């Protein structure tokens, strides 16, 4: 039996995706289902930033909610630019590139940077990281297993991605906690627990940037066997000659990497654990044949969680999405969460199904030049974390309601209690 599409009692004209309070309503899925069915591309006012942020209110945005339309926007990078910034709120282009590196750039600058950065993700580098994913996941479970209960997010889900990125970049363990706190501030914008003012945001960004800058300068002087060194040594050639990353570009890329690779993977793992607790049949399917089921289970976790809810583009010319006219300069926001529940693209989209095939979800983006650089690494982390958890702590369960991040950008879980009785060797 298929699971019914959820509903909402909100009238179409009362839907305001820019309103953070509405965003936190329990019928969010119903709201998006209504938009997909009745107004697939709709205009929304932007929230007024709190006065202490000192930023003017933006001009509003088009929300694209259907799978096919999100794909069109994502893949037409001539018509839909990532600069000046790929988040809904505005900021000056220089700050956006400093804070977001390549994610806020377009060709040819983006292409150049991506070519260099790809050198950090060669098979050799990735093989090195894969080994470290296994070692770190084991260590995490060893450390937490004797407790019998804990906060799942901080102890299991958050610990792995952060350590992997730090390890990959060659950062010492003693610095990981500091980096963890700074990334929380950057992605927690909008949630009062993490950030209140623009200054706090800039301070956290500056802290990460400077850390990356110092790391780059150190590796230029003292090369090592890590990705930072590989990135600093990588050269690409175009009609203007040879290019290398500057220490400043590495600083910004580091900022993007720790932010992009951390909360996202943590969010996927947390939602995954929640699903496996709520759906013991799905858990059994996976546990009974871990190797064979892992590839589809991991994709389904990412579709289900959709850790990154949206990215924005800016129209470079007058165009049409769905049946909607869009004017040059307007903001166009791709709602991946909605595309990933689109009844036109997925059979029974509200069913969590570890065996789902096909599953061409948009959790890592909807195709095009910015497709997630860390997708394979994230897949590996999710798989290995669950392999360790389900084998070593076979009765681990979520034991209470998750505390959700107040954000329309990251589908984050801040805290979620879990417990177990059995510990296997």
**Which residues make up the interface to ligand HEM (CB under 6 A)?**
74, 102-103, 114, 165, 256-257, 260-261, 264-265, 268, 302, 307-308, 311, 363-365, 368, 370-374, 377-378
H or E stretch covering 324: strand 324-326
Q: 317 vs 371, which CB is nearer to ligand HEM?
A: 371
CB 412 to ligand HEM: min, Å: 11
Residues 43 and 60: their CA atoms lie apart, in Å, by 7
Q: Which two tokens stand for residue 262?
A: 């951390």
Residues 366 and 353: their CA atoms lie apart, in Å, by 21
CB 301 to ligand HEM: min, Å: 8
CB 154 to ligand HEM: min, Å: 17
Q: 42 vs 252, which CB is nearer to ligand HEM?
A: 252
Query: For residue 331, which phi and psi values (nearest 5 degrees)?
Result: -85, 135
Residues 222 and 215: their CA atoms lie apart, in Å, by 10
Q: 105 vs 326, which CB is nearer to ligand HEM?
A: 105
Q: 370 vs 414, which CB is nearer to ligand HEM?
A: 370
Q: 86 near 100, Cβ under 8 Å?
A: yes
* Position of minimal CB gap to ligand HEM: 374
3-state secondary structure 368-402: CCCCCCCHHHHHHHHHHHHHHHHHHCCCCEECCCC
Give the distance, in angstroms, between the CA of residue 204 and the centroid of all CA atoms in the same chain.
18
CB 176 to ligand HEM: min, Å: 15
Q: 368 vs 417, which CB is nearer to ligand HEM?
A: 368
DSSP helix/strand/coil, 311: strand
CB 122 to ligand HEM: min, Å: 14
CB 259 to ligand HEM: min, Å: 9
Q: 30 vs 368, which CB is nearer to ligand HEM?
A: 368
Residues 40 and 37: their CA atoms lie apart, in Å, by 6
Q: 30 near 8, Cβ under 8 Å?
A: yes
CB 395 to ligand HEM: min, Å: 26
Q: 286 vs 336, which CB is nearer to ligand HEM?
A: 336
């Amino acid at each position: 039996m298929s699971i019914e599409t959820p509903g909402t009692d909100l009238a179409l004209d009362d839907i305001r995706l820019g309103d953070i309070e509405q965003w936190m309503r329990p019928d969010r899925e119903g709201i998006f289902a209504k938009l997909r069915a009745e107004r697939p591309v709709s205009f929304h006012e932007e929230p007024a930033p709190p006065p202490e942020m000192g930023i003017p209110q933006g001009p509003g945005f088009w929300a694209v909610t259907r799978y096919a339309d999100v794909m069109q926007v994502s893949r037409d990078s001539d018509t839909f630019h990532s600069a000046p910034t790929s988040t809904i709120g505005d900021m000056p282009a220089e700050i956006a590139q400093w804070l977001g590196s390549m994610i806020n750039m377009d060709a040819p600058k983006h292409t150049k940077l991506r070519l260099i950065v790809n050198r950090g993700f060669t098979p050799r580098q990735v093989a090195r990281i894969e080994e470290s994913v296994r070692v770190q996941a084991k260590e995490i479970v060893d450390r937490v297993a004797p407790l019998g209960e804990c906060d799942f997010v901080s102890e299991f889900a958050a610990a792995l991605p952060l350590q992997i990125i730090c390890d990959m970049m060659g950062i010492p363990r003693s610095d990981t906690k500091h980096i963890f706190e700074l990334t929380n501030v950057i992605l927690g914008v909008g949630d009062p627990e993490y950030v209140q003012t623009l200054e706090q945001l800039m301070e956290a960004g500056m802290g990460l940037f400077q850390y990356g800058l110092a790391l780059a300068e150190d590796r230029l002087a003292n090369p090592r066997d890590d990705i930072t060194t590989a990135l600093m040594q990588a050269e690409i050639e175009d009609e203007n000659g040879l290019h290398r990353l500057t220490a400043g570009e590495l600083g910004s890329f580091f900022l993007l990497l720790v932010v992009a690779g951390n909360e996202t993977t943590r969010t996927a793992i947390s939602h995954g654990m929640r699903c496996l607790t709520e759906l013991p049949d799905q858990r059994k399917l996976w546990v009974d044949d871990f190797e064979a089921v892992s590839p589809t289970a991991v994709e389904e976790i990412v579709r289900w969680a959709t850790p990154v809810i949206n990215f924005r583009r800016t129209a470079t010319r007058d165009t049409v999405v769905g049946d909607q006219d869009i004017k040059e300069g307007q903001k166009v926001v791709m709602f991946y969460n909605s595309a990933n529940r689109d009844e036109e693209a997925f059979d029974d989209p509200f069913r969590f199904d570890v065996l789902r095939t096909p599953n061409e979800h948009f959790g890592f983006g909807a195709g095009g030049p910015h497709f997630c650089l860390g997708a394979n690494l994230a897949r590996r982390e999710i798989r290995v974390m669950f392999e360790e958890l389900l084998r070593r702590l076979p009765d681990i369960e979520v034991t209470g309601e998750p505390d959700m991040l107040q954000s329309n950008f990251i589908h984050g879980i801040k805290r979620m209690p879990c417990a177990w009785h059995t510990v296997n060797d």
